[in-house]
Amino acid sequence: MEVYAGFLEYADHHFGRLVDTLAKLGILDDTLVYYLIGDNGASAESTVQGCFNELAVLVNGMPDLETPEFLISKIDELGGPEAYNQYAIGWAHAMSTPYRFTKQVASHWGGTRNGLVVHWPRGFRARGEIRTQFGHVIDVAPTLLGVAGLPEPVLVNGSQQSPMDGTSMRYSFDDPGAPERHRTQYFEMVCNRGIYHEGWTAVAKHRAPWEPLPPPALDEDVWELYAPDDWTQAHDLARADPEKLERLRQLWTMEAARYNVLPLDDRFVERNLPDVAGRPTLARGPSQLLFGGTGPLSEWSVISLKNKSHAVTAEIMVPPAGAEGVIVAQGGRFGGWSLYAKGGRLKYCYNFFGLERYDIESAAPLAPGVRTVRMEFAYDGGGTAKGGTVTLFVDERQLGEGRVGRTVPIGFSIDETCGVGREAGSPVSPDYPAYRNHFSGEVNWVHLDIRGNDYDRDVSPEAYFKASMAWE
C-alpha cells in the first residue's frame, strides 16, 4: 500500500506539472479540466496477502506461487522495476470506504463510484461547491463536445458510430438545484448487477473476486434495494418494498437488453482464452508467419503457443561481426519467452512470471551468412502450466538442449507485446537491455508452428477454467 500511495503521489505531481504548464501559457482558466479520482473501485484482484506479480494471480489464477515467506523476501523490491506488485484485499476494502465492496463488484458503489473535480474558471461561476446530481463516465464526452460546440461524430474513418448515451453535465455547473438529467444507469461486470434510477438503487452481487468458485447460479443471486438518502447502501429495503424492487429489476433487464449485456456470462479469466470462450481471434490456425520488423503485436494477435508442443523457426542474416540481439520475443520481465543471440550464440529464455528463468544456449557460435535457426518445445502434457524440453537447431543441426520446469498457462502480460528483430517494453531476459536490443543482422522471417500430433489436445475447458481461476 505504501508503494501504491507513492505512485499516486507521483501521478499527482505530474498532473500538477500539466496544470502548471497550462497556467504559464495563460490558458488554464479557459480549459475544462476533469480530474477523476479513481478507476472503478479499489482493486481486490490480489490475495489476502497481496502479491509480487499480479499477472500470476489476476491473469493466470496461480496465487499459491507466492507464500508469505516469499513476499517478505521480496519486500525491498516492491515498487521497483522487478516487481508487478499489488496490495492486499483488505486495503481495497479500506480504499472503497464508505462504500461497500470493490472493483469488479459493479453492483455496489464500492465497485463503481468515484470522486470527480471539475475546473473551468471562465466556463462557470461556481467555486468550491459540491454537486449531487448523478453523473457517469459516459457523460464526459458529451460534456466536452457540448462546451466546445462540436457535433457528436456520426462517422469515424468511414464507420458509422452508435449514438452516445451520455448526458452533458453542463446543466449542473452553475445550478446546484438543477433537476437531474441522467436519471437511469445500469451496471454489470461478471454478472454483478446494479441499476440506478432517480436516486434509488437495486443491486445483486453475484461473486466478489476473492470468493470461491464456482459462483452460484444467477437465479440464486439476492437483490437488494436502497433509497435515495442511503448513499452508502447500508439499509436494505428489499423486504419492506418488494414492488419497488421488482420494478427496478425489470428496468435493469430492459437496460441490459438495450445495451447488449445479455446473455449474461459469469466467466472471467477464461474469456481471455479464445479456444475456451469460443470467440474469433486475429491469429487462427496452427501456424503464423511474421516478417522482420513486425511488432509490437498484442498477445492475442499472435497464435498461442501455451500448453502445447511448438516450434519457432527464423531465417536470419548473421553479420561478419557476429550475432547479437533479439530475433523474436513475446512478453517481458514478468513472463514470456525470447529467441535471441548473445555473444554470437543462439539462446532461448523462458521467463516464468519473473520468478524463474530457464536458459538454453547453442554449443557453437552462429557463423556469418544466412542461417535458419529453430527452437523446438516438446511439451510434457498432462494439463496446463507444465514444463517441456527445448531443443535448439542451426541449419538443421542440433546445437543445444535443456529443460523448462513450468510454463505460463493463460497470459504473459496485459501490456507487453511480441516483436521480430527487437523487443519493446521490458526484457524477457536480463541478457539484453530494455532498449537497443535490436538484432545485429537481419531477420527475414519467423514462423510459429504448433506441432501436430504432440499438441496437448486433451486440455479440456474445465481444466483451463480450474487453472485460470485456481479452483480446487
Where along the chain do its domains lie?
276-469
CA distance linking residue 463 with residue 459, whole number of Å? 6
Quote the cell numbers at residue 39.
478507476
- Each of the 472 residues of the chain gets a pLDDT tens digit; together they read 999 999 999 999 999 999 999 999 999 999 999 999 888 889 998 889 999 999 888 888 888 899 999 999 999 999 999 899 999 999 999 999 999 999 999 999 999 999 999 999 999 999 999 999 999 999 999 999 999 999 999 999 999 999 999 999 999 999 999 999 999 999 999 999 999 999 999 999 999 988 877 889 999 999 999 999 999 999 999 999 999 999 999 999 999 999 999 999 888 767 777 767 777 778 888 999 999 999 899 998 999 999 999 999 999 999 999 999 999 999 999 999 999 999 999 999 999 999 999 999 999 999 999 999 999 999 999 988 999 999 999 999 999 999 999 999 989 998 999 999 999 999 999 999 998 999 999 999 999 999 844 434 444 455 444 444 443 3
Q: In what order do the strands lie in the sheet with 287-291?
A: 287-291, 442-450, 310-318, 369-379, 388-394, 397-404
CA distance linking residue 201 with residue 91, whole number of Å? 26
CA distance linking residue 290 with residue 443, whole number of Å? 10
CATH 2.60.120.200 fits 276-469, yes or no: yes
Quote the cell numbers at residue 372.
535458419
Which one, of 213, 271, 210, 209, lies nearest residue 411 by Cα? Answer: 271
The DSSP code for 152 is P
CA distance linking residue 450 with residue 448, whole number of Å? 7
CA distance linking residue 272 with residue 278, whole number of Å? 10
CA distance linking residue 274 with residue 281, whole number of Å? 7
- Which residue type, as a one-letter code, is found at position 335? G
Quote the cell numbers at residue 118.
471539475
